[in-house]
Every structure is written in structure tokens, then in C-alpha cells.
Copies of this chain bind each other. A is one copy, B any other.
Amino acid sequence: MLISDLGERALIERIRSRVPDAPPWVLLGMGDDAAVLEPARGELDVVTTDCQVEDIHFRRAWMSMHEIGRKALAVNVSDLAAMGAEPRAATLSLALPRVLTVADFDLLIDGFLSLAREVRVPLVGGNLAESPGPIVIDVTLIGSGRRRRLLTRSGGRAGHLLYVTGTLGRAAAEVERALRTLEAGTPSPGALAPCLRGPLSPASRLRCGVQVARNRAASACMDISDGLADAVSQLAAASGTGARIHSTQMPVDPVATLEQALRGGEDYELLFAVPLRKRRGFEAIAGRHAGVTCVGELTPGRNVVLDRDGQPEPLGGGFTHF
């Protein structure tokens, strides 16, 4: 059965029947002109939007619809993690081809809701539209955090240490492996998975960002969606500093190369700037939720360099769209 056989109302009802009871701060959820939320008492609203486009951010041959739905929420969770904000409500806007099967539609929704359950965020609204082309999944995530506790990109200062969570380069390595498999002929089922599955552990990264923010254990943070080189350059620029990364300290994933770890996208780890005197506290708090590695430091001036076995070179950038 195709989604065009069911129609908009029945599809919305299908989503609604899957959504668990809302937490008390959701005063009005799906089904009216807008959702109504009670803001967290004494906290600020934190808002992020991220979009997944078929054949740009994901390929249906490489990922299940369940993974695609999960990833669409995960990339937004990663943004809130980088602010140290707790998610409170999500909206889901879908542009879908008429020929999508209802089974795939259900899997997409179930994938989204499986992560929503893990990070305890209610789906409060959204939109369903026809697409004459690719699947487009837009998620807006609203969270909250206390004033002066939220992490921005601009709080770093020269001398602050740079830490990353997890390992880097896995996503890029897996995509390159998949492309080689494709070139070599028709791949066996499953040979292309996992690729570009999005954040590996969004819930643990979220807890890491939230706990570091609450304890003021870092001065700045951003998520690493377009490679470490890109994230370091952006954090340093926002903080008005330079930066130095040491190649020997990089937590390169066992399946990846240094280049993939520096420039590959889709790792969705967190990059923190940490004042020297907070180093121990940061390692203790962040380490409870994710492995963390010190990869370098923010520097005076504006140069962003890679120290490759003692030889400094410009760090360069990462992946960009268009």
C-alpha cells in the first residue's frame, strides 16, 4: 500500500497513534494550528533546525527508513548537545513522494520516535506534504538551558584546551569503503551498511553536553558535523582566537585515516574548549558520558594550524554544501 492510498489525514493519525503520552509541559500537542508549551521555569529557549534531503544526506540504498528517521532527529539532538541544552519538544516536517509505501512511512516515523524516546523529547507537531522529488525531512528541536550555563562557540580564549568526544573519521571511512564496493560491482545486501548513519550515540553525547554545561566545565562547544578541521576553524573564529591541533593526539577511528578524521563529515562528536584550570573537572564530567581526548589548544592570533609531527601547516577546512 502506498501513502497516496491513505491520504494526509490517515497518515497524520498514524503518526499520532504512535506518539506516547506527552510530558506535562506540552499543553497542546499535535492536531491544532500550533503546539503550546510551557517554557522551563527560569530557563531560556534554545532552538535548532536541521534538514535531511534524500541523495544528499542519505541514500535509501545505504540506510533503512528506520535509520533515516532516527538520523533526522539525531542531527538536531547533536546541535542541542553542543549548546548543553535539554530537548523539550520536536516538530517533524515531511515532504514525501506519493509512491512511498505505508510500511516505509511507518519505519521512518518509528525510527524518529525511537530516538525521541531515548532523549525524552515529545513530538508536538509538524507538517506532511507531497514531494515531486526526494524525501525531505526537516526537524526543529526546541530545548532549554539556564542563562550563563549554555555553551556557545564564542566563549573560548587563547590557552584553552581543545577536546573531542569519541573517535573521528569513521563515517568518512565507511562512505569511501561503500563507494569502492559499488565500483567493484553489485554489492551484497548489507555490504553498504553502516554508512552515514548519523550520530552514533546521540543520547550519550547529549548527556555529555548537558552535564558539561550545567557544571560550567567548558568555555565553548560545537558539534563536529563537517569534520574536525571545519569545527576547530569555526570555534576559533567565533572565539576570536587561533588554534593548534596536534596530529599525534587525534583520536582517529581504527577504520579511518588522519585525513578522514580531519575532513570527513558526519561524525557528530563534540568539540569543547576548556580552560586549563577546569581540565580535571571537565575530564571527570565529560568522561562519564563519552571518551574525551585533548587534541590541541586555542592560541593567540588568528592562525589555525595542524602540528604534523612537529611541523605546523594550515589546518584547512572540511566539507561544505553547494
Contacts and interface: CB of A to CB of B under 8 A. Distances in A.
A231 to B, nearest CB: 10
A238 B32 contact: yes
Contacts of A46: 34-37
A103 interface: no
B138 A80 contact: no
A300 to B, nearest CB: 23
A13 to B, nearest CB: 12
A79 interface: yes
Contact of A132 (B28, B36, B91, B134): B134
B34 A138 contact: no
B39 A39 contact: yes
A240 to B, nearest CB: 14
Contacts of A50: 93, 127
Copies held by the complex: 2
B133 A89 contact: no
Interface in A86-104: 89, 91-93, 95, 98
Interface in A178-235: 221-223
A4 B37 CA distance: 39
Contact of A95 (B37, B136, B153): B136
A36 B32 contact: no
A131 to B, nearest CB: 6
Contact of A153 (B32, B57, B89, B124): B32
A295 B31 CA distance: 24
A140 B142 CA distance: 11
A2 B12 CA distance: 37
A49 B127 contact: yes
Given A38-B44, A140-B140, A53 B129 contact: yes
Contact of A80 (B34, B38, B82): B34
A36 B321 contact: no
A92 to B, nearest CB: 8
A147 B320 CA distance: 43
Top 5 A-B pairs ranked by shortest CB distance? A133-B133, A39-B39, A34-B48, A138-B138, A33-B82
